[in-house]
Structure 1
């Protein structure tokens, strides 16, 4: 008898910086979601397609749920909460060793209003003692009726196979929604823009990363040369940020470009010519038009 095929959507939610994007990349075995040690790195809902012989698991990586100030941040939280609707299951991610906070209680209250089963995923277990982990499991178990609790280390891969098995047990029988060679439905130019933004996050400090957006102005494929030519503008809300991003004699933006080009080449599987500019767009994070133009919709 032929084994039935399963498919469905699983939302990955949690507070900022708990490792949601790292977990998605680990499950897929390929980087599609950008990461950094700064909160609010992910701004958009990102679909990751995990193809297996008997199943297709569609993961929705979401921005960290936080107390939102400003139009862009409100958009990010709306994306995260919206992802919990009409999914087959939710992975609620928390960081090992963290006590239950107001943000977690708000997320759990939101999830309790839905019908999807919720799996508590405790990430970064490689950073805590077992006794601390057991106490955390006990504390969360008293707050919510989780379908399962799965401790993992997304960065090291511990427990991730068990988590995927749990995902498969929650999916209904269904069709293959996307072809087997797809890992996301996002356009390549959007992912290229995100990879550039990641390098800005990793190479700048204080408030600068949070006001940065990346707009790909040209994305030209030249298959005869195994080359993609990309011109992209890094948007900043203040004039003072421009000089910091450019650096002395253009050194900072040159380093950002070198790092980003390597990442994009690995993703696209071809050579990349990358040209970066810095543009001042005053208070762009409050502009509905610019937020939309940058792909946050």
Structure 2
């Protein structure tokens, strides 16, 4: 790739749940576009993160983590939809990154690799969280075993959280893309609306603050998203977003848990989500939150579509 060559294209970011795909995309874009939490399957939607560099543009397709369905009795409609969305993300892309966790290769990593191999697109293996191994020599046998017998354009150890090892990764992936002008404007970072991002930021706090199982029974719908100009004494008018978010759960008992004693947990979720929105949108936010029950929504195809879940 010469200095004057400009490359751009779509790059699928695939892997099993909770290996750091969204953290990697946020690091490459340079700002937060995908929510993150310690919980697996935090990402439920396919979305784009747009990373623009002088030499090219990576249109990164963030996908739900591929996980093994354990039969119809346990695989909910949402899980099946998330798997289809992850595999569907391979259509029309120019290259892919398979993200795994350093020191671990599981059956679900093999599942993701097989999906990529079947798609026939050049794939880079990204070994994330190498910062957990201060002695890099310890990693070498794992890097060799992970790539042995598998077709990768290259292997890149990185730490997405600490943003290390990203420059060589960008250079390699850009080299796999077609020569063409940027597909998006330099100031664009995602294909999703602010309304969508607001809902995701509320859901992020649900994933972070609730117990191990309850977050998976919750979803968020933004019922109100309005911009207004407000004036404070001695200052010119400035924009403020007035947002109304409904948190849906599947049972009354779950509603009580989300609200918390005296409404304390719901207020905490709302406060932290609002702070994240203000950082992301660059203006004041007035956020209201409610909790409602919709039984069995996560295993109802019609309900999933109504809540904006697509393949």
TM range (shorter): over 0.9
Over the aligned positions, Cα root-mean-square deviation in angstroms equals 1.4
Q: How much does 1:115 deviate?
A: 2.1
Q: Which residue of 2 aligns with 1:113?
A: 118
How many residues are aligned here?
296
Residue 88 of structure 1 contacts residue 116 of structure 1 at CA under 8 Å; is this kept in 2? yes
Q: Which residue of 2 aligns with 1:218?
A: 224
2:175 counterpart SS class: helix
Q: How does 1:56-135 map to 2 (within 5 A)?
A: 56-68=57-69, 69-98=75-104, 100-128=105-133, 129-135=135-141
Mean CA deviation greater in 130-139 or 240-249: 130-139
Residue 97 of structure 1 contacts residue 132 of structure 1 at CA under 8 Å; is this kept in 2? no
Structure 2 CA distance for aligned equivalents of residues 259 and 162 of structure 1: 35
Structure 1 CA distance for aligned equivalents of residues 149 and 39 of structure 2: 28
Unpaired segments ≥5 residues, structure 2: 70-74, 230-236
Residue 51 of structure 2 contacts residue 59 of structure 2 at CA under 8 Å; is this kept in 1? yes
Q: Which residue of 2 aligns with 1:257?
A: 270
Q: Which residue of 2 aligns with 1:296?
A: 309
2:149 counterpart SS class: coil
2:11 counterpart SS class: strand
Q: How much does 1:52 deviate?
A: 2.0
Q: Which residue of 2 aligns with 1:150?
A: 156
Q: How much does 1:85 deviate?
A: 2.4
Q: How much does 1:237 deviate?
A: 0.8
Describe the shift of the 1:149–1:261 C-alpha distance in structure 2 as closer, same or farther (beyond 3 A). same
Q: How much does 1:109 deviate?
A: 1.8
Matched, 1:199 2:200: no
Q: How much does 1:12 deviate?
A: 0.6
Q: How much does 1:83 deviate?
A: 1.1
Q: How much does 1:46 deviate?
A: 1.4
2:304 counterpart SS class: helix
Structure 2 CA distance for aligned equivalents of residues 285 and 101 of structure 1: 26
Q: Which residue of 1 aligns with 2:294?
A: 281
Q: How much does 1:2 deviate?
A: 8.7
TM-score, normalised with respect to structure 2: 0.92
Structure 2 CA distance for aligned equivalents of residues 178 and 130 of structure 1: 37
Residue 192 of structure 1 contacts residue 264 of structure 1 at CA under 8 Å; is this kept in 2? yes
Q: How much does 1:264 deviate?
A: 0.6
TM-score, normalised with respect to structure 1: 0.96
Structure 1 CA distance for aligned equivalents of residues 112 and 38 of structure 2: 22
Residue 3 of structure 2 contacts residue 55 of structure 2 at CA under 8 Å; is this kept in 1? no
Structure 1 CA distance for aligned equivalents of residues 53 and 241 of structure 2: 30
Match of 1:161 among 156, 164, 167: 167
Q: Deviations over 1:194-243 (max 9, x none)?
A: 00000011111121001110000000011454100000100001111100
Q: How much does 1:55 deviate?
A: 1.5
Matched, 1:41 2:26: no
Residue 30 of structure 2 contacts residue 51 of structure 2 at CA under 8 Å; is this kept in 1? no
Structure 2 CA distance for aligned equivalents of residues 108 and 148 of structure 1: 14
Q: How much does 1:266 deviate?
A: 0.7
Matched, 1:247 2:260: yes
Residue 270 of structure 2 contacts residue 289 of structure 2 at CA under 8 Å; is this kept in 1? yes
Unpaired segments ≥5 residues, structure 1: none
Residue 190 of structure 1 contacts residue 295 of structure 1 at CA under 8 Å; is this kept in 2? no
Q: How much does 1:290 deviate?
A: 2.3
Residue 199 of structure 2 contacts residue 220 of structure 2 at CA under 8 Å; is this kept in 1? yes
Structure 2 CA distance for aligned equivalents of residues 180 and 105 of structure 1: 36
